[in-house]
Structure formats: structure tokens, C-alpha cells
Chains A and B, each alone.
Chain A
Amino acid sequence: MRFETLEQLADICRQENKTIAEVMLEDQARETGVSREEVFRQMAEYYGVMKEAVRQGLTGNTKSRSGLTGGDAKKVSDYMQQSETSLGGPAAEAMAYALAVSEVNASMGRIIATPTAGSCGIIPGVFVSAQERFGWEDEHLVKGLFCAGAIGYVIANNASISGAEGGCQAEVGSAIGMAAGAMVELRGGTAQQAVHAVGLALKNCLGLICDPVAGLVEIPCIVRNGLGAVTALAASDMALAGVGSVIPADEVIGVMLEVGSAMPAKHRETGKGGLAQTPTGRKLTKELVEQRRRKAKEAKAPAKED
């Protein structure tokens, strides 16, 4: 790719009078030797999977295999029908959709990792709700995914998109930054404004630890996806209003790396600290282990190695 930082990306957009999405699509086609049409087709297919996951999460059974989670998106969606939300309709909708996709993931449904499975709800939550609200064609949202991908590409290469490496800020945080920046571009903001949105969003995610109960992609991952969608919308609004990230987005990404590297191992997807080690977290883990033993006994597996 021709860019390593968000500043370079915004410069290219300014000089060539292109959107972030156009630059990403061009660079991807050139780097991989695959035609632009084929690259676009692939991304469009992914967007189709995202929309289907939203639908599935709102209407289907999303009970996870562990039995710990499922059905929360439906609760929020029903509540929205029945009463005025504190957030306001569109943001609550984005939250419900993000929860929906995240619950589909936990229940072994099909999703697109954006950038990971643990953070797969945020971008579809923001995108699909915005599409319905603004009446955009699919093609517009597919371009938005290229914009989100370009932002994620910079974060992944300069910090991390892995909870085991950099905590939840690297997964949910990255997804929020990607969704915020993409939302700005989808609504006609400049590349520079999109980059500001990334900076604003990431600042609010710094230090977020990865502490899943029983090591599963459920508690607290699912609610963090729901809340993450709301943060992304808020950051995009600030940027579209002209608010800038005083600390440039690239420098915030640098802090993400600094904080992620300094995070103790127990807060990086090991289940050895944070929410996973609260009294309730430990109790749930213990119950799951016992449940698994019971089921394993029934299915005569797994035995200890002899």
C-alpha cells in the first residue's frame, strides 16, 4: 500500500482528490494483482453476510453454546418498539444491530471478522442501521468497508488488532475507530475529518483490557460491541461538526501500542484477570467446566492422554 499512516492516507486523498475508499480499493487491486471489480465483488459479498447476520441476530435463536449469552439484541429491539430510548432511535438501533451480530458470532453463526470475530458487531451495527436510515445503496456501504479497512490496516500495522497482543482496545477499540472514520466518509466528510474521527474514537478506548469470562467471546465482548457502535457514531458526529483530534490520530495509535505493550498478560485475553476473575466470573467459569465434564462423560470425551 502507498500509505503507512493515516496522515499519509489523508494526504494522498487530498492530492489526488479521492476518498479513502477509492485509494484503498486501488491499492488493494494493485498490490494483489486482482482486478478492482473482483476486489469490489468480494467486499460486496462480505457486506451481504453482515446484513444477514444483523437479521439473524434480531430474529433467530442466538443462545451461545455455553448458554451464557444470547437474546440481548432482541431485548433492546423490543424495548425500542415499546418506549422512547435514552439514546434516541438511530443510535439505539445501531446498538441493537451490533449486539445482534456479536450474538450471532457467539452462537456459531456466520459473521465477517471486522477486524476480529470478537469485535465483529460494531461495523455492521453502524453500517446497516445507517443504510436503513439514510436510504443508501449497498454499493455505498461497500465503499465504506474499504474506508474502514484502510483505517484498520494502519492501526493493525502500527499498533495491533489482537486482544492477546494489545487488549480489547486493539479489537473493539480498532473497530470503533474504523466505524467512526468510515461513517464520516459515508456521510460526505473529508478524509481529514475521517482521520480526526479515528483519533477521537480511539482516545476513548485507550487502556481497554481483554478479560473474557471463561476465555469465551461472550462476556463482556458482546456488550462492548453494542456500546462500541454508539461511541463510533458519537465520534463521527464530533468530526463532522468540525471537532478535531488535537493529538493526531497517528499519535493516538502510537499510544495504543504503548499501552497495549505495557498491559500485563492477565489483561490480554488469558482470562486470568479483570472481569474473568471477579467472583461471578470465576463462578461462571467453574460451572462451565463442570457442565463440560458432564457432557464429555456422556460423549465419552475427552480422556486424559495416557
Chain B
Amino acid sequence: MRFKNVFSIIGPSMVGPSSSHTAGAVRIGRVARQLLGSQPETAKMTLFGSFAETYWGHGTDLALTAGLMDYETDDQRIPQADVLAEEAGMTLEWVQGRGNGPHPNSVKILLTGGGRTAEIVAASIGGGTIAVYSLNGFDVQITGEYPTLAVKHSDSQGVLANMTALLSRDGYNIGYMDVDRKGRSGDAMTVFELDSAPEESTIQAIRKLPHIKEVTMIDLTKRS
């Protein structure tokens, strides 16, 4: 069964006009913003395929910007997101990508802010559902459907076992996980999609594990 929930038929609550080009785009923007961990100062969006072709009429640009402001899919400020982002001090740059990208509706987002950078590549695959293909250059896939922990660490023996043991100890079930490393003993990224959002104490405990460099929480299920 591809659909398991009555609210995937009646819903989502969203600002129009297109679940894929608008609602999905808001969610992609939110993933990027949460990966950065603060409001972006600059944002460069490279649009591919149908996103590049029809973004303007569908308000995909406004929707992505709204996501960068951490708005939800039904936030009525979405149509004014460009003005509000500018007022908030965000500089936006739009680029038309070459080729098709990883999916007909895809975007690469590069953010800077608070002395940090964040980069994601993601696509809107229909009905507001998204697929994120990479986080900060690591090829890890997430959906944004679940509270997600993104952990940057060094590629060392036992890191994964330590993290999964800790999540298990604190009572969190892992629905999906994905790992990518730059090379043997280099930097690596692991993402965990969890059935429930972890408490801050659990996140802190993971930060204190050996070889952990950065722990980021991405949670689109939480009303902002």
C-alpha cells in the first residue's frame, strides 16, 4: 500500500497552488534551514528541471524562501516570503542549473549564516513528499517524514555502534539510517530517521561520544 493514512488523502493543509511545487518546496527549504541551525544570511538556490521551468508561476521561489524562514506548508505568509526574508536580512540568489539534476523537480541549496554553511540537494517527488539526496556534500537520503538526526563524525570503528546503542538505551527506534564517508578514516555522515523526536539530553550524549564532530536535528513534524 503506497498510501497508509487518511491524511495523505485529505491533506496536507497547504498554501497553493501545487503540492509538489509549493508544499514540497517549503519542506525542502525547512530541511536546509534546520541543517544550518539558524536563520541563513545568504542562500543560493540552483533549480533543475520542472522547478527551473515553472518555479515562477507556481511560487516555488516563495515556497523555498518560506522554508528557509522555517514556515510550515500552510503558513499564509508564504506569498510574501521574499519580502519578509529580505526584511529579515537574508540575501537570496536564484540560479538555473544545467541538466536535469537528480530528479525533474530538484534544487541545490547553499546557505551561510552564523559563521556556518549548509548544503542540501533535494527533490519534491509529489503530493508534498520530498526526497533529500545529500547533506553537506554527503550522499545520505532522508524524507523529512520523521524526526531526523544528522551526525557528522570521523570514519572510525565503533562510532555507529555507540550511536545506535545510545539511541536504544534512551528508547528511540530507528526507522531508517544511512551512512556516507568521504574516504577511509575521513569524514563521514550518518542520518537516523527516528519514530519519535529525541530529548535534548540524548542529543547531548551523542555529541559527547568519541569521534563525533557535529549533531544536527532536522524535524519537520514539529510545528514551528
A: residues with CB less than 8 A from B are 1, 4, 24, 28, 31-32, 39, 42-43, 45-46, 49, 64-66, 104-118, 120, 123, 145-146, 148-150, 152-153, 156-157, 161-162, 164, 178, 214-218, 271, 288, 292, 295-296, 301-305
Give chain B's interface secondary structure class: mixed
**Quick one: which of B58, B62, B95 contacts A303, CB cutoff 8 A?**
B95
Taking a contact as CB atoms under 8 Å apart, the answer to whether B16 and A109 are in contact is yes
Rounded to whole Å, the gap between the CB of A3 and the closest CB of chain B is: 11
Residue of chain A at shortest CB distance from B52? A302
The answer to whether B11 and A46 touch across the interface, beta carbons within 8 angstroms, is yes
Q: Tell me whether B23 and A117 are in contact (CB under 8 A).
A: yes
In the assembled complex, the Cα of A288 lies from the Cα of B55 at a distance in Å of 12
B110: min CB distance to chain A, Å? 12
How far is A162 from B18 in the complex, measured between Cα atoms in Å?
12
How many B residues touch A, CB cutoff 8 Å? 46
Query: Which chain A residue lies CB-closest to B95?
Result: A305
Picked from A117, A148, A156, A164, the residue with its CB within 8 Å of the CB of B3 is: A156
Within 8 A of A (CB), among B48-71: 50, 52-54, 56-59, 62
Q: Are B5 and A292 in contact (CB under 8 A)?
A: no
Residue of B nearest to A68 (CB): B57
Given A108-B15, A109-B15, A117-B22 contact (CB < 8 Å) = yes
Q: Are B1 and A4 interface neighbours, CB within 8 A?
A: yes
When distances are taken between beta carbons in the complex, the residues of chain B under 8 Å from A162 are 126-127
Smallest Cβ-Cβ distance to A67: which chain B residue? B57
**Contacting pair A148 B19 (CB below 8 A):** no
Q: How far is the CB of A176 from chain B (nearest CB, A)?
A: 14
Instruction: Find chain A residues with CB under 8 A from B14 CB.
Output: 110-113, 117
Interfacial chain B residues near A108, Cβ < 8 Å: 15-17, 22, 59, 62, 78-79
Residues of A within 8 A of B18 (CB): 117-118, 217
Shortest beta-carbon distance from A202 to chain B in Å: 15
Do the beta carbons of A105 and B2 come within 8 Å of each other?
Answer: no
Q: Chain B residues near A43: list those with CB within 8 A.
A: 6-7, 10
B62 near A304: Cβ-Cβ < 8 Å? no
Q: What CA separation (Å) do A62 and B122 show in the bound complex?
A: 31
Inter-subunit contact B95/A302 (CB<8 Å): yes
B10-A157 in contact (CB<8A): no
Tell me the complex Cα distance, A46–B79, Å.
20
A286 CB, nearest partner CB in chain B, Å:
13
CA distance A39 to B54 in the complex (A): 35
Query: B10's contact among A107, A110, A148, A214, by CB below 8 Å, is which?
Result: A148
User: How far, in angstroms, from A153 to B18 measured CA to CA in the complex?
Assistant: 20
Measured CA separation A114–B16 after assembly (Å): 12
- CB within 8 Å of A: which B1-57 residues: 1-19, 22-23, 46-47, 50, 52-54, 56-57
On chain A, the residues within 8 Å of B16 by CB distance are 104-111, 117, 120, 217
CB contact list, B116-157 vs A, under 8 A = 126-128
Whether the pair A215, B2 counts as a contact (CB closer than 8 A) is no
Q: Are B59 and A164 in touch, CB under 8 angstroms?
A: no
Residues on B with C-beta less than 8 A from A216 are 17, 54, 57-58
Per a CB cutoff under 8 Å, which of B3, B12, B62, B79 touches A112?
Answer: B12
A107 — which chain B residues lie within 8 A by C-beta? 16-17
**27 A-B residue contacts at CB 8 Å?**
A4-B1, A45-B13, A65-B57, A104-B16, A105-B16, A105-B17, A109-B15, A110-B15, A110-B76, A113-B12, A113-B14, A116-B127, A117-B16, A117-B19, A123-B10, A148-B10, A153-B3, A156-B2, A162-B127, A214-B54, A216-B58, A217-B17, A288-B56, A296-B94, A302-B94, A302-B95, A305-B96
User: A114–B46 Cα gap in the complex (Å)?
Assistant: 31
| Known contacts A64-B17, A296-B94, then 18 further A-B pairs from the complex at CB < 8 Å, ordered by chain A residue | A31-B5, A39-B6, A46-B10, A65-B56, A109-B76, A110-B13, A111-B14, A112-B10, A117-B14, A117-B16, A161-B3, A215-B50, A215-B54, A215-B58, A288-B57, A301-B94, A303-B93, A304-B95
